[in-house]
Amino acid sequence: EIVVRIKWEQAPLWFINDARLDSLAEVKASLSQIAKVNRDAPITLHPDPEVPLGDLIDSYDVVRGVGFRKLRFATNMALGASTP
Dump pLDDT digits (tens) for 26-71: 999 999 999 999 989 999 999 999 999 999 999 999 999 999 989 9
Confidence class of residue 1 from pLDDT cuts 50, 70 and 90? confident
What's this model's pTM, rounded to 2 decimal places? 0.82
φ and ψ at residue 16, rounded to 5 degrees = -115, 115
Planar angle of CA 43, 1, 58, nearest 5 degrees:
20
Confidence class of residue 83 from pLDDT cuts 50, 70 and 90? very low
